[in-house]
Every structure is written in C-alpha cells, then in structure tokens.
Amino acid sequence: MKTDEKLALDLVREHDGHISDLAATVAADGQDHLLPAVVLEHLAECESCMKRVGDAAMLSLDAGQVLVQWHDEARAGQVVAQAVRPPLPVRALLVALVLAAVGALPALSNAPLRIARLWSGLVAAAPPVVRAAAAIARAGSDAIGPSLWLASLLSIVVLFLAGLAIARTLPRTSLARAAQRGGG
C-alpha cells in the first residue's frame, strides 16, 4: 500500500458512523495517515471512539510488555517452554510391577515343567543331528568343500530348530488328535 493511499471507508467506519475495530487499532498504532479524513474528524469529536482507541493502545502496550518480558526471560534461560520433567511416579511403577508379577505367577508355576520338556526334546533330537553331521563328515573333505559342509550342517540345525518351534507352538490337543487319527 502506498503512503498516500487510505483504507476503504467501509472497513474503518461502522454503519452507525463510529469507527470500526480496525480503525481503532490503526489509530492506536499511530498509523493515522491510513485513515480517511472523515474518520479522523469523527475521532476528534467522538469521546466513545477516542476511548476505543485508548483501549486498543493499552491492549497493544500490555501485549508489547508481555512480549518483552517473555523475550527477556528467554534470553536469561528461564523459559518455561523447555519441558520440566515431572517427578517419576515411583509408587505407581512399583504397584504396576507387583501386579505384573502376580499376573505372571500362573505362567511361571509350570516353567520348570516347560524347561524339562524342552530339554528332553533337545536330548531326543540330538542323535539324528549328530548322525547327519557324522554322515556329512564321512563324505570327506574331498567330496565337498569346507564351506559346503558348514552350510549343510547349518541347514540341519535350522531345520531342527524350525521343527522344534512348530512342535512347541501347536496345542497339545491337536497333537493328540493327530496321533489318534494316525494310529487307528
């Protein structure tokens, strides 16, 4: 906007002839040159419009003081914008830990049985794995290279572990039904 241009009359004057909020703000900010002469004349004569300009100026002044204070506090490192860590809820964490332990008791009660079953499964599966490793070793290093021998041994272990994982994830009832169907 050029300095000789004025704000439109419908923006700075209300229907009743008094100044608008925009005009009050413009006048409060010292930008009188943007207001049309009619509005300036009314402003000089109308006490209520002059009060609105004063209120707008005070609001602007208060906002300016708040911004300066905030800026000074920010420079001093006292800004509240940095999140202050709330205290750690130690009691709530302890209660949650106790509740989790109590909830885990049923699962932990049969943990020794699960460990024993896993161990017996590993012991039962060890002979076939050892036999396969021995058969690969008997084939001799001349027949297959060391990297191929290692890859074969690794594939045996991976297949064994995959089979063990599948067997452990199947429900016992499914295994029992499968055994009954297969047995007779």
Please state the pTM of the whole predicted model.
Answer: 0.37
Question: How much is the average pLDDT of 88-101?
Answer: 87
- Mark which of 60, 75, 90 sits at the end of a domain: 75
Residue 131 lies in a domain: yes
Within a domain: 3? no
pLDDT of residue 3: 60
Q: What is the pLDDT of residues 37-76, one digit of tens each?
A: 888 888 888 998 899 888 888 888 877 787 788 777 777 6
Q: Does 116 lie in the same domain as 166?
A: yes
**Domain boundaries, position 147:** 109-183
Q: Does the residue 155 lie in any domain?
A: yes
Q: What is the mean pLDDT of the chain?
A: 78
Residue 8 has pLDDT above 70, yes or no: yes
The tens digit of pLDDT for each residue in 12-40 reads: 888 888 888 888 888 888 888 888 888 88
Instruction: Please state the three-class secondary structure of 78-116 as a single string.
Output: CCCCCCCCCCCCHHHHHHHHHHHHHHHHHHHHCHHHHHH
Token pair of 49 as six digits: 């419009």
| Number of domains within the chain | 2
Q: Tell whether 89 is covered by a domain.
A: no
The set of residues, in sequence order, having a beta carbon less than 8 Å from that of 26 and lying 6+ positions away, is 7, 12, 32, 34, 35
**For the chain, what percentages of helix, strand and coil (3-state, to nearest 5) are there?**
75, 0, 20
